[in-house]
Structure 1
Amino acid sequence: MTRDDQDDQDYPTAEGDPVELLPQSREALDEYVTPSVDDVEGLLRVIEGWAVRTVPECVALSVTLLDDDLTFTLVDPDRAGRPSDPDPDGEAQQDGDFVLDEREWAEMARERAFAGIASTVCLPVVEKGRAVLNIDLYASTAHAFHDRIEGLVSALGAWQAGAVTNADLGFETRRRAEAAPERLRVQRLVDVAIGLVAARVGVTTDDAAGLLNQAADKAGVTESQAATVARVLLA
């Protein structure tokens, strides 16, 4: 679902309990600009409408823009608002103690799942043979997606063969969404440093990015730390 898809898309209204943008997703959306998706929040609301219509038990959803490695999340705070306590007995199962079958693994995962989430599905969206989005949906019942994936795939334009169920019962995409504003701040810092290096040294921005990466590797620091140093020196 890129800009052209959204222009032709009716925005269905979500029914039932509302899902809300995480504060961090709102912050990230206010700062994020992309040439490929004109209205990221509009895209999120399109997906929300179809998902909640198809799966009324849906309590949260995340969309990851793979090119930018950014995740945006909507959640019903009343039904999926708190992380569960992992391993309440304080002892993790040691490898080799016993072998779990697929059903037992699923039950163990649900015991350690994020509160209010009992099943998930990840649906990739592919354009021109390349995955551009991941759509992760989260439901409050264990069989919410049973016999519904085909309908979701059709509505959302996803790749059915790539669908994966119950891989994120811990709601890891929420943690990535919470980190999105900081990722954007770091990226802006790096972009400014690359521009300064390119202008000062007289190279392309791609070459400047390579120089910054090399400097970070040699110094044993992160790219953002190298970018900070580069900005100070060039200033």
Structure 2
Amino acid sequence: MELLPQSREALDEYVTPTLDDVEALLRVIEGWAVRTVPECVAVSVTLLEDDLTFTLVDDVSAAQHLASPARTEQSEPFDLHALDEDGWADMARERAFTGIASSVSIPVVEHGRAVLNIDLYASTPHAFHDRIDDLVDALGAWQAGAVTNADLGFDTLRRAEAAPERLREQRMVDVAVGLVAARTGVTTEDALAMLREAAQRAGISETQVAVVAQSLLA
């Protein structure tokens, strides 16, 4: 699989004291997933604390250019009963991202806290059937939290595409926090609280406040 260009860009910029090599983690997860589910065509890993998603796909160009959702105007409407699980699953697949027929989302829990979310996508409808236990064992994940076919629309792709911009915005906020802390003699935690309060009062984003703070204090 290949990294999305945006994931490569985000990985090049991402620095964390708690996770040395995100790409190595992605590759390990990819290896386990593909060995367990050969039909797997995409892997997304979300770092929950930072709300950042990184994605590997079987075909980068297809992922970036195919229309999503794949449903067309000619698709027949579904007549669904509220408790018809099979019908809901069929409707979800009808609205799925092109090339994805099934998905599973598995949280990874450390010390009672979810730290990662792993989303796997496959090209066949039943690729993950009877394989969840093997995936959970291989990935060290939390079986009780596994959810199937919740992201047939490949929403993690859009989050991965937005990751570089999220990192740039966070860096602007971090710089502004440092400037406020240095200028006012408070801790960075207090400076961040001040920035957030200013954003809330002004009805604008933290990033916008950070831009103003940098222009005034730099």
TM-score by length of structure 1 reads: 0.87
The structure-2 alpha-carbon separation of the partners of 1:188 and 1:141, relative to structure 1 and needing over 3 Å to count, comes to same
Q: Does 1:118 align with 2:111?
A: no
Q: Does 1:52 align with 2:30?
A: no
Q: Counterparts of 2:174 and 2:211 in 1: how far apart (Å)? A: 11
Q: Does 1:143 align with 2:126?
A: yes
Report the 3-state secondary structure (helix = DSSP H, G, I; strand = E; otherwise coil) of the residue aligned with 1:131.
strand
Q: Does 1:204 align with 2:187?
A: yes
Q: Counterparts of 2:74 and 2:177 in 1: how far apart (Å)? A: 47
Unmatched 5+ residue regions in structure 1? Answer: 1-18
Q: What is the deviation of 1:90?
A: 8.7
Structure whose residues are more often helix by fraction? 2
After superposition, the C-alpha distances for 1:70-117 in whole angstroms (9 at most, x for unaligned) are 0000001179632344552299x7xxx863411111111101101110
Q: Which amino acid aligns with 1:65?
A: L
The structure-2 alpha-carbon separation of the partners of 1:86 and 1:140, relative to structure 1 and needing over 3 Å to count, comes to closer
Q: Does 1:40 align with 2:40?
A: no
Number of residue pairs aligned between Structure 1 and Structure 2? 215
Report the 3-state secondary structure (helix = DSSP H, G, I; strand = E; otherwise coil) of the residue aligned with 2:119.
strand
> Sequence identity of aligned pairs in percent?
74
Q: Counterparts of 1:194 and 1:212 in 2: how far apart (Å)? A: 7
In the alignment, is the contact (CA less than 8 A) between 1:80 and 1:114 conserved in 2? no
Q: What is the deviation of 1:180?
A: 0.1
Q: Does 1:65 align with 2:47?
A: yes
The structure-2 alpha-carbon separation of the partners of 1:90 and 1:192, relative to structure 1 and needing over 3 Å to count, comes to farther
Q: Counterparts of 1:231 and 1:190 in 2: how far apart (Å)? A: 9
Does 72-81 or 185-194 show the bigger shift?
72-81
Q: Counterparts of 1:87 and 1:145 in 2: how far apart (Å)? A: 23
Q: Does 1:215 align with 2:198?
A: yes
Identify the match of residue 89 of structure 1 among 73, 77, 86.
Answer: 73
The structure-2 alpha-carbon separation of the partners of 1:28 and 1:78, relative to structure 1 and needing over 3 Å to count, comes to closer
Q: What is the deviation of 1:35?
A: 1.5
In the alignment, is the contact (CA less than 8 A) between 2:70 and 2:97 conserved in 1? no
Q: Counterparts of 2:61 and 2:176 in 1: how far apart (Å)? A: 43
Q: Does 1:167 align with 2:157?
A: no
Look up the match of 1:227: 210
The structure-2 alpha-carbon separation of the partners of 1:124 and 1:156, relative to structure 1 and needing over 3 Å to count, comes to same
Runs of at least 4 residues off by over 6 Å: none
Look up the match of 1:24: 6
Report the 3-state secondary structure (helix = DSSP H, G, I; strand = E; otherwise coil) of the residue aligned with 1:123.
strand
